[in-house]
Amino acid sequence: MSINKDKLNTAINLIPEAIQKGFFPGVQVVIGHKNGVYKSESFGKRCIYPEILPLDNNTLFDMASLTKVMATTMVFIKFLEAGLISLYDRVGYFLEDFKGEQKDDITILNLLTHTAGFTPFKPLHIFCRDYEDSIKYICSSDLEYKPGTNVVYSDFSYIMLAYILEKIGKEGLDKLSRKCVFEPLDMNNTCFNPSRDNIAATEIDPTTNEPLIGIVHDENARFLGGISGHAGLFSNIEDVSKFANMLINCGKGFMSPLAFDAMIRNYTKGMDENRGIGWCIKGNELSSGGDLISPSAFGHTGFTGTSLWVDVENDVYVGLLTNRVHPTRDNLEIIKFRRVFHNAVLAAVE
């Protein structure tokens, strides 16, 4: 496979147009293949209220739910390979309070594929005192549907999964992620609770009338101290490119070929979504990856406006980091933009 540079530039030119239309304040984008990077650029501003601040390739973005695949899923894969956990282990094996009402048969795979029966969302800070209390609350919560019968995206699955991984690894998710994922992949900019200044702003906090900068946007992750299995990670396009390069090369040097194949298998055929281990699988469904990306492609999005799609068949990956929730989450233009942007990128593949 190769890339048509003129068509690729046509795709890239959609970004400043979208910024001008107010779809998002700033963007980092990377488009690459097995042997390198076609394009890596930054556009717009990292903050537009209360002051305008510049954006560059070093700016950190709140990755939101990309935390699930960049951190939690990868730690799980490494533990799977080490023989510390299995897809078909029951959750109750690790958490004795998780039992009854069809919970006894819920597996780690159900957590990874969002088929455990959990509610999509509840504000833990209203019902719980701290992290441990949150786990007890999730364990005792009623299920909303029969496990294994449908895909209902829920952060509870990944909060639970991270807690289990922490029990196994005897360290917090931040340390496990750094040791198992970020250091091996030389992702030196990726972390929870960042301390640097160059960070893209997200939504305005109504209590302070100031944008969240370096503080995780997700309310439950914020309540859990900024470190959670479902959200909390910050990264930039350089590290996303390193992560994507590992994936476009089928995990080479990081995970075994069989672990990679298992990760991107579709475990939810016939349900509302195609889900692998952590990842969305394109299949023939409507997808943020667009219409031209191959059915075997896999990816994930984040609520703040981040996304990563990897198409091994067509030898291309696309990382798109935006702060579309700055200054408000009501801006939903990213939904259509992702699809048309990925279409334009894939149209450049020859």
pLDDT 10s digit of each residue in the chain, 350 long?
Answer: 899 999 999 999 999 999 999 999 999 999 999 999 999 999 999 999 999 999 999 999 999 999 999 999 999 999 999 999 999 999 999 999 999 889 999 999 999 999 999 999 999 999 999 999 999 999 999 999 999 999 999 999 999 999 999 999 999 999 999 999 999 999 999 999 999 999 999 999 999 999 999 999 999 999 999 999 999 999 999 999 999 999 999 999 999 999 999 999 999 999 999 999 999 999 999 999 999 999 999 999 999 999 999 999 999 999 999 999 999 999 999 999 999 999 999 999 99
The CATH number of the domain holding residue 36 is 3.40.710.10
In the chain, the number of structural domains is 2
Q: Are residues 228 and 341 in the same domain?
A: yes
- The reported pLDDT for the residue numbered 289 is 98
How far is it, in rounded angstroms, from Cα 198 to Cα 182?
A: 20
Strand-pair category, 280-281 with 204-205 = unpaired
- In this structure, are residues 54 and 46 in contact, taking their beta carbons and an 8 Å threshold? yes
31 domain-assigned:
yes
CATH number, domain containing residue 130: 1.20.58
Q: Is residue 183 part of a domain?
A: no
pLDDT at 101 (0 to 100): 80
pLDDT, tens digit, for every residue of 258-273?
Answer: 999 999 999 999 999 9
| Closest to 314 (Cα-Cα) out of 273, 348, 280, 288 | 348
Would you say residue 34 lies in a domain?
yes
Q: Give yes or no: residues 81 and 61 share one domain.
A: no
Same domain, 62 and 103: no
Rounded to 10 deg, the angle between the 5-12 and 334-346 helix axes is: 170
What pLDDT score was predicted for residue 291? Answer: 98
| pTM for this predicted structure | 0.98
Any idea what the Cα angle at residue 86 is, between residues 222 and 154, rounded to 5°?
Answer: 35
Instruction: Say if residue 60 is in the same domain as residue 98.
Output: no
Residue 278 lies in a domain: yes
Q: Are residues 39 and 93 in the same domain?
A: no
Q: Which pLDDT score, from 0 to 100, does residue 190 have?
A: 98
> For position 1, what pLDDT does the model report?
83
Q: How many CB atoms lie within 10 A of CB 254?
A: 20
Do 154 and 120 meet the contact criterion of CB atoms below 8 Å apart? yes
CA separation, residue 303 to residues 64, 146, 330 (Å):
6, 27, 11
Task: Assess if residue 174 is contained within a domain.
Answer: no
Are the beta carbons of 5 and 338 closer than 8 angstroms?
no
Q: Are residues 270 and 126 in the same domain?
A: no
- Domain hosting 323: range is 5-66+189-346
124 and 14, same structural domain? Answer: no
Residues 205 and 320 in one domain: yes
d(C-alpha 292, C-alpha 245), whole Å: 21
Residues 92 and 134 in one domain: yes
Boundary residue ending a domain (169, 200, 217): 169
Whether residues 98 and 131 fall in one domain: yes
Q: At what angle do helices 73-81 and 155-169 cross, to 10 degrees?
A: 40
Residue 178 lies in a domain: no
Q: Where are the alpha helices (DSSP H) in the chain?
A: 5-12, 14-20, 66-67, 73-81, 91-94, 108-113, 124-127, 131-140, 155-169, 173-177, 219-223, 237-248, 257-263, 334-346
Examine the domain organization and report whether 163 and 195 are in the same domain.
no
Last residue of a domain, one of 123, 138, 169: 169
Q: What is the pLDDT of residue 165?
A: 99
List pLDDT tens digits, range 178-220.
Answer: 999 999 999 999 999 999 999 999 999 999 999 999 999 999 9
Distance CA 294, CA 4 (A): 18
First to last CA, the chain: 6
